[in-house]
Amino acid sequence: MTDTPAIAAELRRLLRHAHAPYSGVHVACAVESEDGRVTYGVNVENAAYPLGQCAEASAIGAAVTGGSTKLTRVFVTTSLPGLVWPCGGCRQKIFELAAEWCEVVSLGSEGDEGRQTIDQLLPLGFRLAPAQLRRS
Ligand code: THU
């Protein structure tokens, strides 16, 4: 398990890689998987605003690309003061791949941090049971 201070330091470094010329808000995310791998992502905005991608989506995409699909911890840090929590859409993306007790850790710039399970952040999240999937 990578320790939180090492992940926090890497996230602070990665904030400068965010592509956020429109909002000016830089976000970096790390996703830890059950296999111990940690992948990183930043937000990538676009002049066609709705096409912008959250940092969580970038990090989750990197995890899945590497073959990791069970997330144990998700770390988020931003250029804003205070603690920031994933947007609703990203909560659903995390929920989809969350291991049991998957935790979201919000890291502030002053060394402050907050922790919430994904079930606290997204109670009654949307999930399709295998029996509900249509196969053709
Ligand atoms: N953003 C994220 O990267 N993650 C979130 O959970 C919330 C918002 C990004 C999207 C946009 O590039 C910027 O923050 C301002 O909304």
Task: Give the closest residue (by CA) to ligand 1 atom 4.
Answer: 54
What is the predicted pLDDT for the residue at 134? Answer: 76
The whole domain housing 116 covers 4-135
CATH code, domain carrying 52: 3.40.140.10
- How far is 35 from 46, CA to CA, in rounded Å? 33
- The CB density around residue 84, as the number of other CB atoms within 10 Å, is 17
Task: Give the closest residue (by CA) to ligand 1 atom 1.
Answer: 54
60-79 residue pLDDT tens: 999 999 999 999 999 999 99
14-24 residue pLDDT tens: 999 999 999 99
Residues 6+ apart with CB under 8 A from 17: 28, 42
pLDDT range class, residue 100, cuts 50, 70, 90? very high
Distance 93 CA to ligand 1 centre (A): 14
**25 C-beta closer than 6 A to ligand 1:** yes
Domain count, the chain: 1
- How far is 103 from 94, CA to CA, in rounded Å? 10
**Does residue 45 carry a catalytic annotation?**
no
- How far is 51 from 99, CA to CA, in rounded Å? 28
pTM for the predicted model, two decimal places: 0.95
Closest CA to 63 of 87, 102, 36, 84: 36
The atom number, within ligand 1, closest to the CA of 85 reads 6
Counting ligand 1 atoms within 8 A of each CB, the residue from 19, 27, 29, 95 with the most, and so the one to mutate, is: 27
Closest CA to 69 of 61, 80, 78, 77: 61
Question: Given a cut of 80, is residue 136 above it in pLDDT?
Answer: no
Q: What is the mean pLDDT of the chain?
A: 96
29-63 residue pLDDT tens: 999 999 999 999 999 999 999 999 999 999 999 99
